[in-house]
Amino acid sequence: ELVTGMAFATVEQKQITDNTEVNPTLWREWAAMFVGNQEVDISESIEASVATVQPLSALPPKAEGDTAVLDKAAFEDYVNSAGQWQRKAAEEFPDLPTPGLDFDAAIEAANHMQTFREANLSFVDQLNEGVDMVDGRPVNYRLGMIVAALLSREFAEEPPPGPPPMPEVPLRLVMSGKPFSGKKTLAARLAEAYNLQVVDLEEVLHECLMLSKRPDASQPAINVLSFTTDAMDDHCKKHEDGGNPFVKQMQEIGYEIQDILDRGDALTDDIYVRLVTTKIRSLFSEHIPGNKGSEEPKIEEVEEKAEEEEEAPQAEPSAELEELPESGSADGSASEALEEPSADLTTAPGGPTDRRLSGAPGSTQDGSGGEDAPGEAEADESAEDDEGAAELGQEAAAEADEAQEPLEDATMLGADAESGAASAPEPFGWLLVGFPDNADRFQLLEKSLSGWVEESAKPIPEATKQKERAALIAPAPPQEPPPFELIVGGYDLHFRLDIHGDEVLRRAFGLHRDPATSLTYHLEDHPPSSKHQVIYERLTPINDIHNSMGTLTSRIHAFDISQPELDYMLGFFGPFRDCLRLTVVDANKTQDEVYDSIDEHVAGLIERRQEDRDRQLAEEAAAAEAAKAAEEPPADAEGAPGDESDSKDEVSADMRAQTPVELPPVTLEDLSKKVEDMEETLFKLILQQFQEMQGEFEKDSHELFVWHRAFLADFRSGFHGIQRRFLEFLQRPDDKQRHVDLFIQTFNAFSEEYPDMRKQDKTKEELHQRADDLQDKLVAEIDEDRQESLDHLDEIDKSGWVEAQVDVLAAQVQHAVQMEAKRYHAACQLMCDYYYAAMGAGLPPHKEMRVINVLGEEEKPEEVPDPKAKAKSKAKAKAKAAVQEEPQEVESKGNKKRKYVESKRDEATGEETPGHWEFPFLNELMEKAKQIIWPLEEFVAPASAEKLDDVETDPKAKAKGKAKAKAKANSPPPDATPAAAPQLSPFYVDYQQGLAMERLTFLHRLATIHNWGYRRLLSLSVSASEAFSQCRDWVLLRRAQQMAAVDGLIEILKEHIESDPPELITSRLVLDGAHLHRHRNVQLQPIPIPDPD
């Protein structure tokens, strides 16, 4: 629709302007509307242009509709000197110099510096001649830096709320991979080696459902029937009283999950992330800073405890491990009873590989504990059911467990020493398995763990929006992006097990289960250890729809396509600056090789952190020693007496007084710091100045853009209407056809009455003479029509419509200059107030800007009339007015805005200057605008200036001041040393540098407006001249066509006169305007009927 609208608008413009291409300015506006998803409004119709007589936008019209897109695009073009505001040569007269093209910022800066040196300014040598340029235009970065600092302070953004506190543990790992890549097997070995707590999403989900009193129906019957609702509430309350409120939170999440599932909806990624993070908090509640009942232990303390446990004698842990087979737990003893070796999964009771509260059996599905460990000999369902009953805290199950002295699972709900696991070591960290597996889940998890949010997902701060808006008026220096550094984030390492799809299928379809023992085997990797053939006959392949060929293929594909985006996110993180978080491990190797590769990275992480901690401790100790040494008093200096030191001080002071002081340069960062340290009253005042300057400049520019768009539309429509109405005037009816019809009627009547006389020569001569008389009449009418058309065209030309359009465009050029002048004056006033406030010298008085108006009459101050001179001036004025008043008025009205210069030939060189238009008011307007430029001057304290003003306004005070000054001059000075001149502040020098840069910016804007105004006025004048010339050509062309039609008519008439035998004119001859038509089907005489005989 947008493209179609632009196509129709293009056709309309071609019909209105008779040009093959759309006006570049209009096309740029259409492109901006297309980008802004707005349809092009075809407001300039042919019918409206003909009906509206000479439209004129003498004043800025009110904007109709939504013009924000057009105004934004036009404003950006204006401040960037692009589009119609780009300085270029005039296309109408490329050989003539175009105003505004000769401006060069570097040359202007050098000329200004020469002027400052001639003025003998004391600080001129400290000014810099360099010019900051952006896209070929000078910019004042000092003003931009001040404005950016003002907006940053005004719209200071509060820091975003951090994530909920997470446990401070030494190791935080994540392991992901395709199905059957061995995630859970490797996680179990890592957990055993580094004392990690394994967190599995599906098991945590089952746990939440159990806590919310809805067990999983897929679990064994004993797990479903061996719990009560009171036991769950008691269990949550027990941990909440013990300082672990996260178990209760998991129960609440379980209720929420039930509501979602009952509605038939799918669980969202946010629910999964809350499950994982709440589970981690529940496991390490005593390590969460600020948690109720916790001592907020530090990571160093936890690691020191772990080191102490490693150094302690290992007799008790070994004894405990020897008792493991007797405990009857489901951690591997059942496998030994079934003569099934599974040493990889054998851990201490309550260790990280124990089952969760859900009591999920060892299935082969990913996330349930079996699919990633092909060939793993798992515990039978009865053992898992007994363990699940013990974890639920049922009374009967608890009595049975007490008889066997079991240890409660410490990884289930963060249970502490009250469960009986007194010998279990402190948790060393957590390992998240199989989650996150895509970029969306990763971002949610990272936000919950560390508060990190990707830049594109963050809302744009208000300060950034305001600074981007202000940069169009006062551009700030470009800020280099900070160097890229890896972020530590919410966890340390992310292991991805990379495995081929064929290997996944081989591991999945090689799994078999023993119905008698419910143990799972892999016929190739981990076959049954028994040599009896009977066990092989009992094995049945696992036919699970979750692990079927189609399901596995879809899961593998989903995992593969989500990894590139996840890799991009993980590229921002790493435990160290030179170490990425993501580690890709080849899982096609043997299990031991894969484990060794992962173990190497984890061990390296721990070792490097220990080195960093030792280095930090050494630096802190060195810093403490240095601080202690600095506090010790230095030894007393021996030697020089006091008189000699005083004399040396005097000599050095004299040398400093004679040596010129080089002021340190003020950096852009210093300007920003001064804004931060500024008093609130001054800050609000300067900020209000900028906001008023910005609002007024945007308002004036908006009026200019709307006004100029209306002017261009009126000019196009107006000229099209003038041409269309003139064409209609040319085609007005006349009397030529009446003369033709009368001649034909007389000719036919004479031929019918006197047919024989038609053959006589005298008769033919008479008829020829009448035909010539008819031609003379027709030619006379044609000449009369031509003269009337030319007179009508002269009336249109003298109506003043073109001059009115020139007046409107001249007013727009002056509006642009006034708008830019007000912006320049306000910017200089803002810098003046800021720098004086930065120097602590007080604000100087406000300067008034001169009025710039070259198109209207300037206001002159009233003069007191002199009675004697009044009579003399009357006589002189009367005589002078009779001679000069009228010619001067005509000259000023005709030549002030535009005049046409005829072509001239240089007699010396022989070169001819073509005739062209000139616009004298433009140069006068630019000279008026340059008169408001702020001069560079020496520093004067505002307070002293105000005192002088007060003294001058009061005559008595003035006399008193003179007397005091005279008495002070006659009195002897108290000290012979002359008073030193006040030292010039470096901020004042920088202020003068800012004024010089703002002057260059203002002059560049004036040159741009000068060039734009000249090209617009020249295009208008040339277009108007060409349009009126075209209308005159139409008049002459119409006369030529009319004369040709008359000649053709007379030729036809004379052919009938000379016809033999004489013929009547039977076909109708029509002289329609400039065309002659012979209608052969329109008969003037009845067709003779032939005699049948």
Burial of 146 (0-12, 13-18, 19+ CB in 10 A): buried
The string of pLDDT tens digits covering residues 732-769 is 888 888 888 899 889 889 888 888 888 888 898 999 99
Report the half-sphere exposure of 677 (CA within 13 A, side-chain side).
10
Residue 971 has pLDDT above 70, yes or no: no
**637, pLDDT greater than 50:** no
More confident residue, 256 or 540: 256
Q: What is the 3-state secondary structure (H, E, C) of 832-860?
A: HHHHHHHHCCCCCCCCCCCCCCCCCCCCC
Arithmetic mean of pLDDT, 968-985: 48
Residues in the chain: 1093
Per-residue pLDDT, 511: 84
Maximal C-alpha separation, the chain: 164
Inform me whether the pLDDT recorded for 317 exceeds 60. Answer: no
| pLDDT on residue 36 | 74
Q: What confidence score (pLDDT) does residue 55 get?
A: 60
d(CA 347, CA 355): 12
Provide the residue type at 911 as one letter: E
Q: Which two tokens stand for residue 166?
A: 């997470």
Q: What is the mean pLDDT of residues 221-230?
A: 57
pLDDT category at 220 given cuts 50, 70, 90 is low
Highest mean pLDDT among 881-885, 978-982, 1031-1035: 1031-1035
Residue 992: its pLDDT value, please?
A: 92
Average pLDDT of span 46-56: 60
pLDDT category at 895 given cuts 50, 70, 90 is low
Q: What is the pLDDT of residue 354?
A: 38
% of the chain at pLDDT higher than 90:
30
Q: Is the pLDDT of residue 336 over 60?
A: no
Residue 259 has pLDDT above 90, yes or no: yes
The tens digit of pLDDT for each residue in 96-138 reads: 778 888 888 888 888 888 888 888 888 888 888 888 999 889 9
**Distance in angstroms (rounded) separating the CA atoms of residues 12 and 46:** 8
Check: CB of residue 281 under 8 Å from CB of residue 246: yes
What is the C-alpha to C-alpha distance for residues 705 and 711, in angstroms, rounded to an integer? 10
Alpha carbons 532 and 80: distance in angstroms, whole number? 88
* Residue range 771-817, pLDDT digits in tens: 999 999 999 999 999 999 999 889 888 888 888 889 999 999 999 99
pLDDT score recorded for residue 546: 67
Q: Does the structure show a pLDDT above 60 at 382?
A: no
Q: How many CB atoms lie within 10 A of CB 509?
A: 17
pLDDT (mean) for 4-32: 73
CA–CA gap between residue 739 and residue 1069 (Å, rounded): 11
Q: Give residue 627's pLDDT.
A: 86
Residue 49's pLDDT band, with cuts at 50, 70 and 90, is low
Residue 120 to residues 114, 116, 986, 998, Cα–Cα distance (Å): 10, 7, 18, 21
> 440-471: per-residue pLDDT in tens?
999 999 999 998 988 888 888 999 999 999 99
Alpha helices in 61-158 (DSSP H): 68-79, 105-118, 141-154
In tens, the pLDDT along 1000-1018 reads: 999 999 999 999 999 989 9
- Cα-based distances in Å from 915 to 98, 794, 797, 901, 912: 15, 21, 20, 5, 9
The pLDDT-based confidence of 684 (bands split at 50, 70, 90) is: very high
Count Cβ atoms below 10 Å from residue 192 Cβ, excluding itself.
18
Per-chain mean pLDDT for the chain? 76
pLDDT on residue 219: 58
Is 70 exceeded by the pLDDT of residue 536? yes
Give residue 662's pLDDT. 57
Residue 390, CA distances (Å) to 209, 347, 402, 404, 420 in order:
17, 18, 9, 11, 13
- Tell me the pLDDT tens digit for each residue of 393-441: 333 333 333 333 333 333 333 333 343 333 445 558 999 999 999 999 9
Q: Which of 287-291, 727-731, 835-839 is predicted least confidently?
A: 287-291
Q: Does the structure show a pLDDT above 90 at 35?
A: no
pLDDT at residue number 635: 54
pLDDT at 591 over 80: yes
